[in-house]
Each structure stands twice: as structure tokens, then as C-alpha cells.
Amino acid sequence: MRFVETTIPGLIVIEPDVHRDARGFFLETFHATKYAEAGIPVTFVQDNHSFSVKDTLRGLHLQLRRPQGKLVQVVAGAIWDVAVDLRRGSRTFGQWAAEELTAENFRQWYIPPGCAHGFCVLSDTAKVHYKCTDLYDATDEVGIAFDDPDLAIPWPLTQPILSSRDRQHPPLREVLARIEAART
């Protein structure tokens, strides 16, 4: 198993060892000791599983008071997964990174708490499973417009399928202003 750092500290790509034979394959999808040694928290409190059709775009989402770290993997299909560093004081604040996760490449990635998360579906359908370090709290969640020009994320699709909620998200600049206003 390999743990690959990205340009954003704490955002880690996990490349598991896949053992294949005539029957199929076997791999470890989580090993507390190995993940802890790589700097990934081993306490997860919620698992989520989503199914989406091609060109679905989910995100960008994050929780403010109860930020969630997420260990993301695709169990069927392919996605382009994005994380935006919104950790206060981070040297990479406002920067994003992306990774193609597929059922065939078996990659996972760990998105640390304080990062916004979103993905789009590249295959006909995709099933995504992710573990979270804190519980979902709808009253704590905020969203950022996926097409925020300040972020300039080059999503690999032209006509995204969005939920009505994701369609309404403001740009990052407005979200940050609201956060600062709430703190004063």
C-alpha cells in the first residue's frame, strides 16, 4: 500500500496493493495501523454510499463547526474528485486538487477536515463510498458554487446535472464573508 502526498498538505492518495488471480481480486480498503502511520485518522464515525449517473456533479460541500475528514473510494464506475483547502491559516488556502478515482484503479483519497469536497461522474454510473471523521450535520453544512471563477476548477464536463441545492451555492468569496460576519 502506498500513501502519496499531494500539493495540499494532508490530502493523501492511497494506492492499495491489489492481489489478482483467476477468481478475481482482493485488497485491503482500510488498515488502522497503516493509515495512522500515514497521518490519516483512524476514527471514522459515519460511512456514506452514493449512486449517481453520468455528468452528475455533487458539491462543493463542507461543514464549518464540525468539519469532516473523508476517505473516498469508488466501488463502481469512475469519478473526478475535487478537494478545496479552506483550512484557516493553511499555506494552500483556496487551492484545489483533483484525482480520478475508479473501480479499476482502486485508489482512495483522504480529504482532511476543513476542505470542501465535490465530484463529478465520468462513467455511465458510479457508486461512491466514503468514511467520515465526524457526523453529518445539515445545520452546519455550507456549499460553494462548483463553477466559482476564483477557484477556476476545470470540471471535465460541459452540462453538469446538479441538485437544486447545489445549483444555489454562492461563490467562495460570499461564503467566506458570511463566515467572518458570523464570527464577529
Domain ranges of the chain: 2-183
- pTM equals 0.94
**pLDDT at position 184 over 70:** no
| Cell representation of residue 175 | 461564503
Residue 182, pLDDT score: 59
- Domain 2-183 = CATH 2.60.120.10: yes
84-103 as b/e: b if 16+ CB within 10 A? bbbbeebebeeebbbbebbe
**pLDDT at position 183 over 90:** no
CA distance linking residue 73 with residue 45, whole number of Å: 16
130 classed as catalytic: yes
Please report, rounded to a whole number, the percentage of residues in the chain having pLDDT higher than 90: 92
Tell me which of 61, 110, 117, 169 is the catalytic residue. 61
DSSP 140: T
Q: How far from the centroid of its chain's Cα atoms is residue 161's Cα?
A: 18
Tell me which of 35, 110, 117, 130 is the catalytic residue. 130
Q: Tell me the helices (H) and strands (E) count for the chain, helix number first.
A: 3, 13
